Amino acid sequence: MDKLSQLRAMIAVVADTGDINAIRQFTPLDATTNPSLLLKAAQQTEYASLIDQAIAFASAQGGSSDEQKALCCDHLAASIGREILQIVPGRISTEVDARLSFDTAATLERARRLMDLYAQMGVAPERVLIKVASTWEGIKAAEVLEREGVHCNLTLLFSFAQARACADAGVTLISPFVGRILDWYLQNTDATAYAPEEDPGVQSVRRIYQYYKEHGYDTTVMGASFRNTGQIEALAGCDSLTISPDLLAQLADDSGELPRALTPVSASKTDAAMSESEFRFAHNDDAMAHEKLGEGIRKFVVDQIALERQLEARAKSAETA
């Protein structure tokens, strides 16, 4: 049995892509998208009709140019999500505009709109996870959304403080970024490589997983942003892992044995909820997490703007055709 099959026998395997063909090839349980992946997907011919539909929908709603661009992007994200849900049996994660990461009210508004768009497309709410950056404001928005029955995936998670606050908020799922944590340590220390067991990204997810199980939290831990299959294998047994197509292919081509690395334990501890000041101090005290959260938001914003410009250019081209 190949390692991908062995991994699927242990945990939920999620495809970290918006590429329909890759999803068909690897048949994951769920799929995740983000602005970077949507930007890549929008350049594929398979999505041309969805882009045109999104442009027409946004134009028909009226409003300012900025409002139409934002609505067009949301409609496209939901449309691609709907297409992916025709293939995967589980859920799709769709991300709120990263520019709203520090605005709870605006995050709530956009999340509700995404869910409304999905509803208009006939997608049941239980098949959608709304992705929100793990800022304090994003976590508070997710707490409200969860009470409203909207399930959330808290992304760009790098610190233990973020993980604790997400569990306190009762979010459905978190996505700790394994590879980006490794990137920071390789860039900011004397280390040139890490064995999987010593990888700081792997160790971060293991600590979070253990804490959640010991304290009886229901929040799913889904490792994300992998750089190599060694990181994935070191987290075999985690609740879920979202994996890029190239790494899925490597696992599928490897017939070696894949032992379970993480095993759940019975809840035996309790802990008080973090206050906002405790969260902000603890997160800020982690230089890696503080830097990578800001960097991640900035990168997603760059790709969000690039996507808007691409859609705007296509709309103008259609007008002059």
pLDDT in tens, the chain (321 residues): 999 999 999 999 999 998 889 999 999 999 999 999 899 988 888 899 999 999 999 999 999 999 999 999 999 999 999 999 999 999 999 999 999 999 999 999 999 999 999 999 999 999 999 999 999 999 999 999 999 999 999 999 999 999 999 999 999 999 999 999 999 999 999 999 999 999 999 999 999 999 999 999 999 999 999 999 999 999 999 999 999 999 999 999 999 999 999 999 999 999 999 999 999 999 999 999 999 999 999 999 999 999 999 999 988 887 776
Alpha-carbon gap, residue 181 to 303, rounded angstroms: 21
* Backbone dihedral angles phi then psi of residue 149, each to the nearest 5 degrees: 90, 10
Alpha-carbon gap, residue 176 to 139, rounded angstroms: 14
The superfamily (CATH) of domain 3-320 is: Aldolase class I (3.20.20.70)
Rg of the chain over Cα atoms, rounded to whole angstroms, equals 19
Kindly name the residue from 131, 140, 213, 292 that is annotated as catalytic: 131
Its pTM stands at: 0.96
In the residue annotation, 3 being an active-site residue is answered as no
Parse the chain into domains and list their residue ranges: 3-320
Alpha-carbon gap, residue 234 to 252, rounded angstroms: 16
